[in-house]
Amino acid sequence: MSILPRLSACLALFILTGSLYAQQTVSVPRADGALTPLMVYDATSATCPPLLLISPGAGGDEKGMRYLGEAMSRDGWRTIVMGHRESGMASLRADVRQSGGIRRGVATMVSTPTDYRARLMDIDAALQWSQQRCRAPFKALLGHSMGARTVQIEAGALNKLGVHGEGGFDAYVALSPAGPDEVFPVAAERNIQLPMLMITGTRDSGMDGDYHWRMQAFDALSARCSWLAVIDGSTHMNFAGAGVAGKTRTATIALTTTWLDGLRAGHCGELPNLAGVSLTHK
């Protein structure tokens, strides 16, 4: 093959794949003057796309959750993964050293009010940055682990830290939600009024119990169109894309896109029946 056909083939491939999403890193100012790093996966669309903000877990950053960022972009969403510096890897290492172990270090971080207030400022900064470009017709917030806790607080869950979110989203997704503990009282989610999708796995244990502890957060929900999905064999870090996570990634993408697209269309919708995934709805 001559060089010209090769270049033409490469250009065609670039155009085909580039039309799915464009990825960029930006830093945006938040209310206290600090900068919030964002990884933006922008869907190519002639109209203003719906918006999904993603909050990673303790020690995570804007480079994580890539599998969801790319998948949601392909589904037509402007997807933004936020970096939370106050609860990122450097801060987690410091907490681990001071607390004398990873378990205690994580426990310290996920129960620190100032870390959540910083995360909520990051959310506001990302939301404002996106809305300045176009006002999304539908906005959703998704989080994993400490990010799921952040989602629960932003959605209106009662907590013992005195931290309150601004709301303003149309739907919420919590991967590895937190049940009752030193942050959330029993039935903390009872006041949440907007639909929420919670996803956990049978090996998704937390500091206060196994996945049944996480399911208590769903039990407290009363908002219609809310769903719980339990993926057989999925571990906590599988939802961040780590480990042998192919099944978890595939199921999480399918569940999230189907649920959110159904809400955007104006109905609760039915989640797909996937092998090894049990579903409950309200």
Can you list the domains of the chain with their CATH numbers? 21-281 (3.40.50.1820)
Q: What is the pLDDT of residue 46?
A: 66
- H-assigned helices in the chain: 3-18, 66-74, 89-99, 102-109, 113-133, 146-155, 211-219, 246-264
Q: What is the pLDDT of residue 44?
A: 75
Give the residue ranges of the chain where pLDDT is below 70: 1-21, 46
Q: What is the pLDDT of residue 205?
A: 92
Q: Give the count of beta carbons closer than 10 Å to the beta carbon of residue 2.
A: 7
Owner of token pair 């009024």: 193
**197 with 157: CB under 8 angstroms?**
no
Q: What is the pLDDT of residue 95?
A: 77
Joined tokens for residue 257: 């896109």
210-241: buried (b, 16+ CB within 10 Å) or exposed (e) per residue?
ebebbbbbbebbebebbbbbbbeebbbbbbbb
Q: What is the pLDDT of residue 216?
A: 97
The CA distance from 17 to 90, in Å, is 35
- Does pTM surpass 0.85? yes
